């Protein structure tokens, strides 16, 4: 499969039309694939709750645009922010397993590649900070 500008443009159009202001595109080979690989178009003002993944780290690569990956401690206090820009100097980050985090889109048209271990599991309430 080719990941083209046309695909990214289509995802961005869908994200802009979505109430959540984001849209993902599954890159797995099938539903039985034991990994999570997706493109995720995220528009500014999209709200992604502070969350963690207890069974997997998460690799985030900016394919287009600019985002901030924001890290928190267990009490919801921000501990670090990393700006990721497809033009560099930093365009990817690996979020350790169990790390509380969220991300913010800083530019319209931003698209990331997300990769996690294991099959998809919905986020449990105890893995979301309110």
- 130 lies in some domain: no
Are 12 and 34 a contacting pair, CB within 8 Å? Answer: no
Task: Provide the residue range defining the domain that includes 82.
Answer: 5-117
Q: Note whether residue 77 is domain-resident.
A: yes
Indicate whether 21 belongs to any domain: yes
pTM, entire model: 0.94
Tell me the CATH number at 31. 2.60.120.10
Q: Provide the greatest CA pair distance for the chain.
A: 42
Report the distance separating Cα 114 and Cα 59, nearest Å.
6
Radius of gyration of the chain (CA): 14
Residue found by looking up tokens 């267990």 in the block: 74
Q: How many domains does the chain have?
A: 1
Would you tell me how many other CB atoms lie within 10 Å of the CB of residue 129?
14
Tell me whether residue 66 is in a domain.
yes
The mean pLDDT value of the chain amounts to 95
Q: Which of 42-51, 71-80, 104-113, 119-128 has the lowest mean pLDDT?
A: 119-128
In a domain, 122, yes or no: no
Answer with the residue of higher pLDDT: 117 or 69. Answer: 69
With bands split at pLDDT 50, 70 and 90, how would you rate the model's confidence at 5?
A: very high
């Amino acid at each position: 499969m080719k990941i083209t500008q046309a695909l990214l443009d289509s995802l961005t159009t869908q994200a802009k039309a979505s109430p959540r202001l984001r849209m993902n595109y599954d890159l797995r080979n099938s539903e039985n694939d034991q990994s999570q690989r997706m493109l995720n178009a995220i528009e500014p003002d999209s709200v992604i709750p502070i969350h963690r993944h207890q069974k997997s780290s998460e690799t985030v690569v900016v394919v287009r645009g600019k985002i901030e990956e924001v890290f928190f401690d267990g009490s919801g206090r921000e501990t670090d922010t990393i700006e990721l820009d497809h033009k560099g100097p930093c365009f990817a980050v690996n979020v350790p397993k169990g790390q509380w985090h969220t991300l913010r889109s800083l530019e319209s048209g931003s698209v990331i590649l997300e990769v996690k271990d294991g099959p998809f599991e919905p986020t449990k309430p105890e893995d979301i900070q309110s």
